[in-house]
């Protein structure tokens, strides 16, 4: 039955027209048609064919024509036209409990809010509550609505998923009968956002052991709500410090553990392709193993599944059906960059701007990580809220860093800056001062909602400056909170190659910017990446792994990442 899709289309037309402030009569008539079709209880195609539909009250001539059009073409031109008139994510606002078309119209018209992320921003900044007829109470209700939506359908950040996985694996390890524990799904692939956390456990043969593990999980103190608990699978919402997270735990037999790890790591698209290869080879692949007829040829060890299919082992980060299976067959997979390849962190904020630590504290902590160098990149003066450094303060900081290097052994501290790219595309410091620095990152921190042409031009212009070695967090996105800038990423990559400017892969799990697919484009264009944590404290130095995993998802090798270079000298003296 196509009734429900059709009903939704009419309702959507009504919503869009209401948001656009169109004729009230036509809005109501679309809504009514939507309701009638939804309630009708008989296949609309048959009603149309028999002529009955024309007699149904509420369905006029023009609606009838639209319904006919839909049955023939699968879409309605008037609906498509309406969709073109609004930003693509605007309708998602309607899913927030408490936000009707009138509310959406108000925030779109008055605050230029175009997505849930931007709605959150408008509530946070207080501008939402100031709208006539809204107020603090309404703002609080909408925030609860968004939270609800995120809890039920939302995707969480990688660090949040990781935190949830730690909580659960810690418990599982303590339970009797658990042999091996392995995270799977998008978390194991280190995707930038995670729908739910998947964990596999192998246990002994007895059914009892498996049931006890699921019971142990479902009754854990951190469980907020049990969604399902069967003999081998449990699914629950668990509490973490930041957000509720859905965790699926599956108990699998030892001899199938590798096959289950392969299957539940996904991605689904990767699995589909792998299964095709198995079928071509006369084999059968599922979550229990790889079979020839009834005989299991692989299952306990994940690597063997790939091996028996004639493929090199494919790291989880690559399993997205982006060409990895062909590459594994022709032995041309890249040797992915690893955390142990990283020699230093080139994006660090100290107490001088908005960080919490002194330069020497940061250097000592970096030394403990085995780093050979760090670069201090405090904000520049236009980032006033971040206590950006004036030219004078930066000149003093450079001297301080040179002095500290005399005292500290075993690590080199580079003097850098995260200099603002201003609205007119110029930089916040003059070239004379920039020339004093070892490494300069240029970033956009203002005017991020500007038009594509403008934000792109600003970025390109910054790369033309010979002292700029890297563009920081190129799209400026904050996952779940702020949309990326409307940047022409292909143009940025092309110009980065022309000007030998590196692009940052900001390792902060809020950013992961560049994202995986953009990293891959950059690498293919011969552009080097810098993985920086953008840390403001010592703990933040530990975020490097998120950046490395994202780079690996972009098929990066060690040679593609600048801060795998062995010595600090590789970065100094540029532009002098």
Task: With beta carbons less than 8 A apart as the criterion, state whether 560 and 551 touch.
Answer: yes
Alpha-carbon distance of 50 to 56, in angstroms, equals: 12
Size of the site for ligand DGT (CB under 6 A): 14
Residues that bind Ca ion (CB under 5 A): 185-186, 196, 198, 248
Please provide residue 262's backbone torsions phi and psi, each rounded to the nearest 5 degrees: -60, -50
Residue nearest to ligand DGT (CB): 266
Which of 115, 232, 243, 267 touches ligand DGT by CB under 6 A? Answer: 267
Q: How far apart are CA 508 and CA 546, in angstroms?
A: 7
Stretch that binds ligand DGT, among 70-78, 261-269, 367-375, 412-420 (CB under 6 A): 261-269
> Looking at beta carbons only, is 320 or 436 nearer to ligand DGT?
320
Nearer to Ca ion, 248 or 345 (CB): 248
Binding characters for Zn ion, 423-452, by CB under 5 A (x = yes): --------------------x---------
Contact 16, 86 (CB under 8 A): yes
Asked if 355 touches ligand DGT (CB under 6 A), the answer is no
Give the one entry of Ca ion, ligand DGT, Zn ion, none that residue 443 binds, where binding means its C-beta sits below a cut-off of 5 to 8 angstroms depending on kind. Zn ion
Tell me the C-alpha to C-alpha distance, in Å, between residue 57 and each of 30, 41, 417.
13, 15, 69
What is the footprint of ligand DGT within residues 166-185 (CB under 6 A)? Answer: 185
Q: Is 535 in the site for Zn ion (CB under 5 A)?
A: no
Which residue, judged by CB position, is nearest to Ca ion in the bound state? 185
- Inter-axis angle of helices 101-111 and 3-19, to 10 degrees? 40
- Asked whether position 154 contacts ligand DGT by CB under 6 A, the answer is no
54 binds ligand DGT (CB under 6 A): no
Residue 260 beta carbon to Ca ion: minimum distance, rounded to whole angstroms: 13
Closest CA to 483 of 147, 116, 154, 158: 116
Task: Work out which of 108, 134, 264, 510 binds ligand DGT, going by CB under 6 A.
Answer: 264
Integer Cα distance of 208 and 200 in angstroms: 17
**Spatial contact of 563 and 342, defined as CB atoms under 8 Å apart:** yes
Task: Work out how close the CB of 308 gets to ligand DGT at its nearest, in angstroms, rounded to a whole number.
Answer: 18
The rounded Cα 44 to chain-centroid distance in angstroms is 40
Biggest distance spanned by C-alpha atoms of the chain: 91
Q: How far is the CB of 343 from ligand DGT (least distance, A)?
A: 32
Residue choice 7, 29, 169, 186 for contact with ligand DGT (CB under 6 A) = 186
Partner from Ca ion, Zn ion, ligand DGT, none contacting 268, C-beta within 5 to 8 A by type:
ligand DGT
List own/partner pairs for 18-25 with CB under 8 A and 24 or more apart.
18/101, 18/102, 18/105, 19/86, 19/90, 19/101, 19/104, 19/105, 19/108, 20/82, 20/85, 20/86, 20/105, 21/105
Nearer to Zn ion, 445 or 520 (CB): 445
Q: Does 258 bind ligand DGT (CB under 6 A)?
A: no
- Distances from the Cα of 199 to the Cα of 166, 209, 236, 546, angstroms: 10, 17, 12, 19
Alpha helices in 443-528 (DSSP H): 452-464, 489-499, 516-524
| Bridge partners for 298 per DSSP | 290
Which CB, 196 or 516, lies closer to ligand DGT?
A: 196
Q: Is 266 in the site for ligand DGT (CB under 6 A)?
A: yes
Q: Which residue has the tokens 């306990």?
A: 300
Query: Closest CB to Zn ion among 256 and 443?
Result: 443
Q: Is 194 in the site for ligand DGT (CB under 6 A)?
A: yes
Residues in contact with ligand DGT by the rule CB under 6 A: 185-186, 191, 194-196, 198, 263-264, 266-268, 271-272
Interface residues with Zn ion (CB under 5 A)? 443
């Amino acid at each position: 039955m196509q009734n429900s899709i059709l009903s939704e289309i009419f309702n959507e037309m009504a919503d869009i027209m209401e948001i656009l402030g169109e004729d009230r009569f036509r809005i109501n008539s679309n809504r009514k048609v939507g309701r009638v079709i939804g309630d009708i209880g008989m296949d609309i195609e048959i009603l149309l064919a028999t002529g009955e539909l024309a007699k149904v009250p509420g369905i006029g001539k023009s609606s009838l024509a639209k319904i006919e059009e839909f049955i023939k073409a699968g879409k309605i031109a008037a609906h498509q036209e309406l969709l073109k008139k609004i930003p693509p994510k605007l309708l998602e606002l309607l899913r927030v409990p408490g936000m009707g078309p009138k509310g959406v119209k108000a925030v779109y018209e008055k605050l230029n809010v175009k997505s849930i992320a931007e709605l959150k921003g408008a509530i946070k900044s207080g501008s939402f509550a100031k709208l006539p007829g809204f107020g603090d109470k309404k703002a609080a209700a909408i925030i609860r609505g968004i939270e609800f939506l995120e809890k039920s359908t939302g995707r969480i950040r990688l660090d949040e998923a990781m935190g949830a996985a730690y909580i659960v694996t810690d418990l599982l390890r303590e339970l009797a009968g658990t042999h091996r524990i392995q995270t799977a799904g998008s978390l194991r692939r280190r995707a930038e956002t995670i729908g739910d956390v998947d964990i596999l456990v192998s246990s002994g043969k007895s059914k009892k052991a498996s049931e006890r593990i699921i019971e142990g999980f479902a009754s854990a103190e951190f469980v907020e709500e049990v969604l399902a608990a069967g003999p081998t699978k449990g699914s629950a919402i668990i509490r973490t410090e930041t957000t509720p997270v859905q965790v699926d735990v599956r108990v699998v037999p030892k001899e199938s553990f590798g096959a289950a790890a392969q299957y539940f790591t996904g991605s689904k698209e990767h699995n589909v392709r792998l299964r095709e290869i198995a079928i071509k080879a006369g084999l059968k692949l599922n979550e229990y193993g790889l079979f020839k007829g009834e005989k299991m040829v692989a299952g306990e060890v994940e690597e063997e599944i790939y091996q028996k299919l004639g493929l090199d082992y494919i790291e989880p980060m690559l399993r997205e059906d982006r060409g990895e299976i062909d590459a594994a067959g022709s032995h041309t997979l890249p040797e992915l960059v690893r955390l142990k390849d990283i020699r230093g962190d080139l994006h660090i904020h100290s107490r001088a701007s908005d960080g919490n630590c002194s330069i020497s504290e940061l250097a000592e902590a970096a030394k403990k990580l085995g780093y050979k160098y760090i670069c201090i990149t405090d904000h520049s003066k236009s980032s006033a809220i971040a206590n950006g450094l004036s030219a004078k303060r930066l000149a003093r900081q450079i001297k301080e860093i040179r002095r500290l290097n005399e005292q500290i052994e075993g690590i080199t501290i580079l003097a850098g800056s995260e200099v603002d790219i201003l609205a007119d595309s110029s930089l916040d410091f003059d070239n004379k001062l920039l020339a004093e620095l070892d490494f300069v990152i240029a970033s956009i921190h203002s005017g991020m909602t500007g038009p594509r042409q403008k934000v792109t031009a600003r970025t390109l212009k910054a790369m033309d400056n010979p002292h700029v070695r890297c563009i920081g967090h190129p799209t400026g996105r904050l996952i779940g909170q702020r949309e990326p800038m409307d940047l022409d990423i292909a143009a940025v990559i092309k110009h980065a190659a022309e000007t030998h400017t590196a692009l940052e892969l900001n390792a902060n799990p809020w950013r992961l910017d560049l994202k995986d697919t953009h990293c891959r484009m950059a690498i293919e264009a011969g552009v080097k990446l810098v993985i920086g944590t953008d840390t403001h404290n010592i703990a933040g130095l530990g975020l490097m792994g998120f950046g490395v995993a994202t780079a690996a998802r972009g098929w990066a090798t060690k040679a593609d990442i600048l801060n795998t270079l062995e010595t600090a000298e590789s970065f100094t003296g540029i532009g002098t």
